[in-house]
Chains A and B, each alone.
Chain A
């Protein structure tokens, strides 16, 4: 087994996903310990331009191009990676994303290799991989030690490390030829679908007041709407509310919804799952209201209120109006 750390690049429709550069940053740190180098595996079709873009961050790119890689599929990527990495890396990194957690565990089973998913940090200590993770809706932190002669496979939660920026000297791009048997893939890509927007754009608002499952019933939505109105803002939501059709999908804040950066974000009865936080953590001022003082939303909020949102919000609206 080699000493290198290989990061699997993520890209869609000609754009490199930001998490790729976070993987490079973490990979570089790990490679310093394994005595190898960090490399990016870029798989696709007609993506030499993207390879140059990644290499400009000062990292070597292993470029595999094939018709069967025109869009991501787990089977296509798994076959290509097995063919590309004839000498397996010490560590293979992917983002903890819809692509990364689709691919990485499957590779672990196929390679008979250990997997640690959804890590917020990774370190090497004398050949042992130390994985830091958050569990139970981010209410607990766990440190896991894994030791193996097989490659370590890990997914890194997006936003956990600072991405690498452009470098003075670009890395080289090394084309690698791969053989892929599409018949063995088992999965065929057909196309992308995008939701049609026929609603206000919550990403354009200065003030977003978001409701979560803590509001308990749809009938309580006017309470939240009242606060949004008093502040000249719009109503957003956590995913369960749009899943239940209490609000249109266009109001969902988070990883699989909208990313918002308003001047003010008020989270009402939202626990603060990582997928929600991904969509609002960069708001200018974040105020969270939750009955549970251990709710992880209080980690990203600037101000926290431990209260029943159905009592607090009407009281706040009254205060705002009487002022």
Chain B
């Protein structure tokens, strides 16, 4: 039973960086960022490729994002995706997840999809909303925070993570959408020949007109949405920082631990 799997990927700013507010106060400064594939999406891609290796079929890596995201799609192809699609949505901030999910759903609706995978959350925004939104627009069942997938004749059996380390076992009819949790597998590295090959593979570009709208604004919901302010978080209870070089810091912390009675003898 070959599976057509569409895996949705997002390119995000490396979250280990320090960020600055843009001059207009409505976004972060984006001129000096480096971008990477969203962490959870790496696991979604790996799961898609493993399912294809087991059951046959095709993996399509899909993103909505600026041209720079092609790099991520090529990496996905080097790791086993058969085809890549980029919705040419150039808004670098993309704060309206309803709009983004709506356009992604429209693009998926036009191609075969037994299974749609996304990451459980994006590392930049952390809304965990895109997957269930896409499923809602496609009117297909979904499950979030998936840590294990079993494919059966007609459907899927999946394990969903709940709070406190508990899991919930559910089954879904196909087609279905799953948001994939960190740790479900160990993502592979791309072998060099595959990277070379992927650099020559085509990437399908989708424009709003291909999906029946004159602009991407046609995918917005019935509301207005505006960023009022981006700012460093108001420090609530910032830690008292221990100054000095490592030797000074170690001395100070050892002293502190002694004073608080954590050191015996």
B170 with A141: CB separation less than 8 A: no
- Once bound together, how far apart are the Cα atoms of A11 and B251, in whole Å? 48
Q: Which of A36-44, A49-57, A106-114 contacts B (4 or more CB under 8 A)?
A: A106-114
Q: A136-B19, A292-B16 are in contact. Are A188 and B171 (CB under 8 A)?
A: yes
| B223 surroundings in chain A (CB, below 8 A) | 113-114, 146-148, 150
- Once bound together, how far apart are the Cα atoms of A308 and B250, in whole Å? 12
Q: Which of A85-93, A217-225, A313-321 contacts B (4 or more CB under 8 A)?
A: A313-321
Q: A114-B98, A135-B124, A312-B250 are in contact. Are A191 and B227 (CB under 8 A)?
A: no
- Once bound together, how far apart are the Cα atoms of A318 and B165, in whole Å? 36
| B21 surroundings in chain A (CB, below 8 A) | 140
- Once bound together, how far apart are the Cα atoms of A27 and B232, in whole Å? 27
| B176 surroundings in chain A (CB, below 8 A) | 186
- Once bound together, how far apart are the Cα atoms of A240 and B15, in whole Å? 15
A146 with B133: CB separation less than 8 A: no
- Once bound together, how far apart are the Cα atoms of A110 and B134, in whole Å? 10
In the complex, what's the smallest C-beta–C-beta distance from A323 to chain B, in angstroms?
Answer: 6
| A47 surroundings in chain B (CB, below 8 A) | none
B170 with A109: CB separation less than 8 A: no
A320 with B170: CB separation less than 8 A: no
A29 within 8 A of B: no
Q: Which residue in A73, A143, A187, A192 is a CB contact (below 8 Å) of B166?
A: A192
A192 with B168: CB separation less than 8 A: yes
B110 within 8 A of A: no
A106 with B136: CB separation less than 8 A: yes
- B contacts with A, residue count (CB < 8 A): 90
Q: Which of B3-11, B65-73, B141-149, B193-201 contacts A (4 or more CB under 8 A)?
A: B141-149
B190 within 8 A of A: no
CB-CB contacts below 8 Å: A299-323 with B: 299-308, 311-312, 315-316, 318-320, 323
Most chain B CB neighbours (cut-off 10 Å) among A99, A101, A242, A249: A101
B172 with A187: CB separation less than 8 A: yes
| A108 surroundings in chain B (CB, below 8 A) | 98, 129, 133, 136, 221
B233 with A315: CB separation less than 8 A: no
A249 with B246: CB separation less than 8 A: no
Q: Which residue in B123, B235, B237, B260 is a CB contact (below 8 Å) of A285?
A: B260
Most chain A CB neighbours (cut-off 10 Å) among B134, B226, B236: B226
Q: Which 3 A-B pairs have the closest CB atoms?
A: A109-B136, A186-B141, A243-B183
User: 27 A-B pairs, CB-CB below 8 angstroms?
Assistant: A74-B132, A98-B162, A102-B142, A108-B133, A109-B101, A109-B135, A115-B97, A117-B127, A135-B125, A138-B233, A142-B227, A143-B229, A143-B230, A146-B223, A150-B221, A186-B141, A193-B167, A231-B262, A256-B164, A258-B164, A264-B260, A287-B256, A303-B241, A303-B253, A304-B242, A305-B242, A316-B253
* Chain B interface residues toward A at CB < 8 A: 13, 15-16, 18-19, 21, 28, 95, 97-98, 101-102, 105, 123-137, 140-145, 157, 159-173, 176, 182-183, 186, 221-242, 246-247, 249-251, 253-254, 256-258, 260, 262-264
